[in-house]
Structure 1
Amino acid sequence: MRQRYEQVADRLVEDLRRGTLRPGARLPGERDLAATLGVGRASVREALGALAVRGIVETRPGAGSFITDDAAERLAASDALPVGLALPADAGPDALLAARRAFEPEIAALAAARGPGSDPIIDELLAAMEQSADPSDAEQRRRWSDADRAFHRQLAVATGNPVILAVADHLASLMDQPLWRQLRDESTAVPGRTTLQLAEHRLIAAAIADGDAAAARTHTAQHIDRARRFMALD
């Protein structure tokens, strides 16, 4: 099942294909889009970020988000690309964590290498995790997991590489598998773990903001290794 932000992005792309949205058009604000589509603002923000990486949407400071002038051409070009080899639609938690361990430290390093500076979306996601770090509440754990997944996706966005983002999105989609959700929920329900993981997220974010690729790589690797231990996969 596609994630909510992907469904939002699909809807905007379909509106562009039908001509409801036109190149150069200004999109409604996040709040209005969220209300119209019946989703949260975080899903709208992620969808706009994904479309921006594809060159379909651009955000102009102080003006809002717009469909790019060449959005239709970009969609046509992507439609013409060969499908190639498909990634698996399902994978066990062990395989998924092994793949994340291989990719995500390098993704964080690439994000840091693009240059120093804080990312307001990452800052918002860290705040969301801090506000939902109570492991005794199931709804809080769900919000934590959503923010956690969005945080790691935002690292891929920060690389500016659409291929990396596509791979990261597929890995994230595998985290909807029932066994992964069960292990994740059992892991985060243990008191103290979300606090520790939040601290690790902050270290990763700080390294990226400082432009320190080596530190970003190291902190991300340590974070995933700890998640593996928490899920009792070692």
Structure 2
Amino acid sequence: MMRALLVAIGFLTRVPVPAHAYDDARAKASSLAWYPLVGLLIGLLLGALAWLLRDTPALLSAGLLAAAWVAVTGALHLDGLADSADAWIGGMGDREKTLAIMKDPRSGPAGVVALVLVLLLKFAALASLGPAPWAALLLAPVLARAGLTALFLTTPYVRSSGLGTALTDAPRYACGLALALTTAGCVLFGGRGLLSFVLAAAVFGLWRQACLNRLGGCTGDTAGALAEMVEVAVLVGLAVR
């Protein structure tokens, strides 16, 4: 169980974990159930930083929080977002062409624009949340990673190999329990939690259907794009609430 948690931490963050944790195929599959908890750990780190920056001007605080967010995750999901944006536009509706573009390590104009817009929206939302953005900083990363759990649990993985291959054998009961606990946690946040849950669910449903229509399933890149879109939706939704 602890090895699966270490795998999840090592994959979703830049926190170093023992290399031997990745040798267990069962731990890799079981790590999917721990994704929401890793999101919570990310949120707690960001919340602690926000507390340290509570007397810092709002724009500077937002910029530092956004930079820390990228640093702690290693821009993993931003890479998936950029690849998905390039592939969705360049693929022109063709499945094989879309998948081929996603494998290209280079970023095209669509990917760059997507990155700029997402980071800009995160920065603007964080600057608009005020000096105590605790709820947003917890809910956004948790729901984004819960979305990944739900995606791999319910959607075919279309690559024959890749980072998401091992997750297709994830324990369904443990993953379902993690999603149920995430939902209960949102309820505890009251109106903000419910709004965040609805926004995350809407983004999840729309993007999952788009992936099914175009690809017949998901890839690691589309999963990364989902995480980024959920985070943006929650942050912006809570900022304008």
TM-score of the pair, normalised by structure 1: 0.29
Instruction: Point out the structure with the larger helix share.
Output: 2
TM-score (norm 2): 0.28
